[in-house]
Amino acid sequence: METSLASAPMLRPSTWPDALQSRAEHPDAAPICGGTDLMVDINFGRSRPAALLDLTSVEGLDSWELIDDGSTVRVGAGVSFTTIVEELSHLCPALAQAARTVGSPQIRNRGTVAGNLATASPAGDAHPALLACWAQVEVESLRRPRLIEIDDFFVGPKSSALASDELIRAVRVPAATGPQQFAKVGPRNAMVIATASFALNLDVAGRRVGTGIGSAGPTPLRARQAEQMLEETLIDRWDSPGAVADDVIRRFGALAGEAASPIDDVRGSAEYRRHALAVLARRCLSWTLADLPGASARQVARS
């Protein structure tokens, strides 16, 4: 027993091409970076991969850079949530706020956005912010590199568009051009898997509204009707929104709740989740409107 167990290898590529090679040659090896999802399954005997493909030594994977003339943040697959909180709160406010709510300091020091994506849990904290920002996932295999739009990435509960020979290399997040917010509810303030979560992105430069819903459907979702309604409301007011009527904010919350398809489970009932989402969406909208240049004093006071 000991011999066979001890022989399970750990692959530790130090370059990205070697990582792709290892992925192709060892399809049974489970990729691991922070380990905050995979090691739990291993510790509890739910997963027994034939080998581990450790990505923590791959050169350059744990750094981020600005691309597209500074309009996009390319976050390497090995960048920890702690780094996102400390370094990206201005460029990617919603993602940084979501990162701040992940687990505990110990978990944020190890966990990564790419790991969040690879697990593809509907409750992944990064997902609503990535949806709200129209992020793209940079994946690669020996066959080819490709970019997956975030809207096409999640295909089911804990299931993604990632092919079995592919690795996530980076996530491309458009840099914020206006206020963004993320909000999440759960039984306590720390170490919580979301009961429901919501992200909102007011893309002032693009005159677009982006949303993301977490923990309230088989996959992370977008509240399309809420986005459309708010875009129509702001259409000629992006630069001087003044006071946005309370019924717009209420309608936005209601549409966010309706966009979800939650279930009853141990973390909350479907009915509670819809209600919580409406509240989270209203809060996010009030906060972001207050941060828009030209917001009225009344909206500021709401925040």
Which residue of 21, 24, 26, 51 would you call a contact of another protein, by CB under 8 A? 51
Beta bridge partners of 137: 148, 171
Q: How far is the CB of 258 from another protein (least distance, A)?
A: 34
Cα gap 119→187, rounded to integer Å:
23
Q: From residue 109 to residue 148, what is the string marking binding to another protein with x (rule CB under 8 A)? A: xx--------------------------------------
CA distances from 59 to 13, 63, 73, 111, 127 (A): 9, 9, 18, 18, 25
Among 15, 106, 240, 303, contact with another protein (rule: CB under 8 A): 106
Tokens read off for 276: 């919580």
Residues near another protein (CB under 8 A), total: 33
Query: Is residue 158 near another protein by the rule CB under 8 A?
Result: no
d(CA 165, CA 214): 27
Binning the chain into helix, strand and coil, the percentages to the nearest 5 are 35, 25, 40
Place of tokens 């992020």: 135
Distance CA 195, CA 203 (A): 27
Shortest Cβ distance from residue 57 to another protein (Å)? 8
From the CB of 51, what's the least distance to another protein, in Å?
6
DSSP letters for 148-161: EEHHHHEEETTEES
CB 34, min distance to another protein, A: 7
CA-to-CA dists, residue 108 to 141, 144, 169, 172, angstroms: 27, 31, 19, 20
Q: Which is nearer to another protein, 42 or 243 (CB)?
A: 42
**Which part of the chain contacts another protein (CB under 8 A), choosing from 37-45, 155-163, 268-276, 283-291?**
37-45
Rounded least distance, CB 46 to another protein, Å: 11
> Under a CB-based contact definition with an 8 Å cutoff, are residues 148 and 136 in contact?
yes
CB of 37 to another protein, least distance (A): 9
Q: Which is nearer to another protein, 34 or 241 (CB)?
A: 34
Footprint of another protein on 167-196 (CB under 8 A):
189-191
Site residues (vs another protein, CB under 8 A) = 2, 5-10, 12, 32, 34-36, 39-40, 42-44, 48-49, 51-52, 54, 56, 103-107, 109-110, 189-191
